[in-house]
Amino acid sequence: MMPLAEIFQRIPRPLLFVAAALIQVTLIATMVLDRARILREGTEVTLATRPLDPRDFLRGDYVALDYEISTLPAGALENTPAAGRNMPVYVKLARKDATHVAVSVHREAVPVAGDEVLILGRVSYGTSCGADNRSFCGSLTLKYGIERYFVPEGEGRVIEKARRDGKVAVVAAVTRAGRAAIKRLLIDGQPVYEEPLY
């Protein structure tokens, strides 16, 4: 049987470059189509943001977002074994007035009813408590993959001021699997930026 290295040496270089380019284009197209699927098919939830330290708020051409659901009580998970930092958990959200709020945190996906939605988060802080430092703490800090929102160059200051005044909210699309993507940014309830479906 011919070694793999010899097989690659017999393939013309232009053909190898074309194959590599096709693989890269396929990977990029897969990421774009996946995000478009989330935006198109996901359930819309409106999330309240909360102020951040202004020194960390604006970095380049994106806005760092922090949500009311970013820090939550562990509830039934407190003092149970945790798999460590970045452990996935599900947060059950329910509509309350104009936004969605956290109802509970779960290790696995749980059934939802009515206007409830499960959003998948990762624990960035709160898995190092207990005698062995491997249990959930009483409070969890979570990341949902929607903590950055890219804005046109030079337009972040308006959002920064509105955030300090508590006027910014985000409409996110959430799939049945709990994956989320930002769909719209609202200031005073009015859309100011909307993501294209590609």
Give 10-29 pLDDT, tens digit per residue. Answer: 778 888 888 889 999 999 88
The percentage of residues in the chain with a pLDDT greater than 70, rounded to a whole number, is: 92
- What pLDDT does residue 55 have? 43
Model confidence at 154: pLDDT above 80: no
In the sheet that holds 117-125, the strands lie side by side as: 71-73, 139-143, 117-125, 87-96, 99-106
Cβ atoms within 10 Å, residue 163: 23
- What pLDDT does residue 4 have? 72
The whole-number average pLDDT for the span 73-85 is: 91
For the ranges 2-6, 23-27, 91-95, the lowest mean pLDDT is seen at 2-6
pTM beyond 0.75: the answer is yes
Contact criterion met (CB below 8 Å) for 167 and 188: yes
154: buried, middle or exposed (CB in 10 Å: 19+, 13-18, 0-12)?
exposed
Mean pLDDT over each residue of the chain, to the nearest integer: 85
Return the biggest CA–CA distance within the chain: 70
Model confidence at 58: pLDDT above 60: no
Model confidence at 47: pLDDT above 70: yes
Closest CA to 86 of 123, 128, 39, 36: 123
